Amino acid sequence: MNLFRLLVVIILSTLSTITIVAQESIRDKILEIATIDEKVMMPMRDGIRLATDIYRPKTDLKVPVIFSRTPYNFNSWGDGKERTRTMERAYEAIKRGYAYVVQNERGRYFSEGEWDILGVPLTDGYDAFSWLQNQEWSNGKIGTLGCSSTAEWQMAVAALDHPSHAAMVPQGFGAGVGVVGSYYEQGNWYRGGAVQLLFPSWLYSVEHDKFKPRIPPGATQEDLIRISRFYDLDPENPPVDWAEAFKHLPLKDLLKNVNGKKEIFDKMISRKPNDSQWFEGGLYHDNMDFGVPSFWFVSWYDVSVSPNLALFNHVRENGDDDFIKDNQYLVIAPTLHCSYTRATENTIVGERSMGDARLDYDDQIYGWFDFLLKNEENDFKEKTPRVQYFTMGKNIWQASETWPPKNSELKTFYLNSDGKANSRFGDGKLTVSMDRSGMQFDSFYYDPMNPVNSYGGGVCCTGNAVQGGSFDQSEMEERKDILVYTTEVLEEGVEMTGFIESTLYLSSDVKDTDLTIKLIDVYPDGTAYNLDETIQRVRYREGYDKEVFIEKNQVYKINMTPMATSNFFKKGHQIRIEVSSSNFPRFSRNLNTGGANYDETESVIALNKIHHSKRYPSHIKLPFVEK
């Protein structure tokens, strides 16, 4: 073994030892104030048993429950970060007078049954609530808590309105949105009808092989606790260079190409947005009721910020119960996916400083739980704003009774140019009035084999392929297949807070293509920081229940899926948008053939034109806040 490899082994061994010591330390702290009941096999209505760890405070009083159901490994023996975090969460709950219960979804680790994505079946959540409600140490009230996949099952279960489900705190909950308002996400699988490629890499990292080792049926709790010290059933997947792996065609063989477990991916990749199977799973859809007070946590640089905000509004506006509608609260942080508590005095997201983005998350969350699970007459509602949102640029937390704030008004900006808006060196302008003197369109070639690369943005789970956050886009903007439209230099600072609506008029020489748009804050030195981005597959411009292909050189109105932000553009800055036809590998490429895309290997280069005339006024509506 050479010296370098020896050093790596020593470092990794040391880090592992440090992690184990930290786990033992937090475990010892828990045991001072609580009882740990591990590998409780909680029965579901069909006889399947789900592995559950229960942390209960040492008291004779009945206590409320904070419940977290997850596909991730929380085995308390080992050196995993998720396991340490689980015990840290448990300790925080116990010292505040709660039992903390964490459970694996069916088919995960020591839980019996077969796993499927997105919280299937819904009845598992309902059955777990009933079991917990009936425990002699439970006061009968349950709050759910979790981020990402540990949040995504909560919304649909909330629609079942279990009497014990009294509060929830979903964080980074993109995949919990099926269909809400104008968003047809289907669990974050789609955005604007284009596949988001976070799922293949995520599935590669988490899906257990159907030929995995299994615990024999009927194993006792004693047996499971004993063997969990030696076997945690957590596979170690070979590393994958996702920056290269995502390029593979056909898309349906992407996981096969990296020797991944492809059963779930195979099933999902062929589904169209309106496939009935989406509506049979564990997703919340806006035709479902909603019966639980909720404290929502969203991030500006997460994969599903705009649908998250739409869901918050949907619940407040459409619930049947006034108590439920009145008890919906929202936090929007300037962070990456599930990174709320990592904010510091100088929070850097990508390359951009957000300043001091800290918030008293734990105190607010437990104030919420105390109010609803303990019936404490505390001051949560008096001191907690309905909506807390972070305004970038100003780098401050602000508050509002609504999202967007009532003093946010949309102002229309039109795309203009002399026909040469290609790249930031072009003549594209963003103006409050249409300039009819110039060319009436800009054109660019979109080659699926040379797509515009994703750079920053709201991403998750894509390995080394995309780093999320705000990055200087100016070098990217040198590409000729990116149309760039920029305002004049701002004479005074302006705050933009709310949803961003955009309409583009497109003609093309292919049957189908995509349109992408990105919102940018341009600094005086030319640094161009991305704020949000979206995409629209043109075949779904008339709705996701049908595919309508385009005819050569006909002009079509394309309403883009809305974006959202809160950003202060300082004096001397400029507002910019980028328009193109790819943002890869955040979104899958449209191969421009009019085919299914997922089963194709050949592509067609498209000549796409964005029209901006009196007849075809391509524009963007920006939400300015008047102070």
The pLDDT score that the predictor gives to residue 135 is 98
Are both 582 and 538 inside the same structural domain? yes
pLDDT band at 4 (very low <50, low <70, confident <90, very high): very low
Confidence of residue 359 (pLDDT cuts 50, 70, 90): very high
Could you tell me if residue 420 is inside a domain? yes
Res 475 pLDDT > 60:
yes
pLDDT classification of 528: cutoffs 50, 70, 90: very high
pLDDT for 613 equals: 94
CA distance readout (Å), 331 to 61, 190, 197: 33, 24, 27
Residue 389 shares a structural domain with residue 488: no
Q: Is residue 2 part of a domain?
A: no
The predicted pLDDT at position 176 comes to 66
Which pLDDT band holds residue 78 (cuts at 50, 70, 90)?
low
Pick the last residue of a domain from 400, 426, 448: 400
Q: Give 250-287 pLDDT, tens digit per residue.
A: 999 999 999 998 889 999 999 999 999 998 888 999 99
Q: Is residue 50 part of a domain?
A: yes
Q: Do residues 357 and 421 both lie within one domain?
A: no
Please check whether residues 447 and 394 belong to one and the same domain: no
pLDDT tens-digit series, residues 569-606: 999 999 999 999 999 999 999 999 999 999 999 999 99
Same domain membership, residue 434 and residue 489: yes
Is residue 371 domain-shared with residue 423, that is, in the same domain? Answer: no
One domain, residues 439 and 585: yes
Order of strands, edge to edge, in the sheet holding 138-147? 34-43, 49-57, 99-104, 63-70, 138-147, 165-171, 294-301, 328-336, 387-391, 396-400
Residue 21 maps to a domain: no
Mean pLDDT of all residues belonging to the chain: 93
pLDDT at 11 over 70: no
Residue at a domain's end among 400, 433, 461: 400
Residue 19 has pLDDT above 50, yes or no: no
Q: Are residues 478 and 350 in the same domain?
A: no
- Give yes or no for a cis peptide into 250 (omega within 30° of 0): yes
Q: How confident is the model at residue 214, as a pLDDT? A: 86
Instruction: Judge whether 11 lies within some domain.
Output: no
In terms of domains, do 518 and 597 share one? yes
Determine the pLDDT at residue 80: 60
| In a shared domain, residues 163 and 204 | yes
Q: What is the CATH classification number for the domain harbouring 361?
A: 3.40.50.1820
Residue 6 lies in a domain: no
Examine the domain organization and report whether 119 and 153 are in the same domain.
yes
Return the number of other C-beta atoms located less than 10 Å from residue 518's C-beta: 27
Which region holds residue 193: left if phi is over 0, alpha if psi is between -120 and 50, else beta?
Answer: left
CATH of the domain at 436: 2.60.120.260
Domain boundary among 382, 400, 418: 400
User: Does residue 294 share a domain with residue 320?
Assistant: yes
Query: What is the 3-state secondary structure of 315-366?
Result: HHHHCCCHHHHHCEEEEEEEEECCCHHHCCCCCEEECEECCCCCCCHHHHHH
Q: Is residue 432 in a domain?
A: yes
CA distances from 128 to 34, 94, 103, 160, 558 (A): 21, 20, 9, 13, 45
Percent of the chain with pLDDT over 70: 94
Domain boundaries, position 111? 29-400
Please indicate, yes or no, if residue 4 is contained in any of the structural domains: no
* Domain count for the chain: 2
What's the pLDDT at 25?
86
Residue 513 in this model has a pLDDT that exceeds 90:
yes
Question: pLDDT digits over 179-207, tens only?
Answer: 998 899 898 999 999 999 999 999 999 99
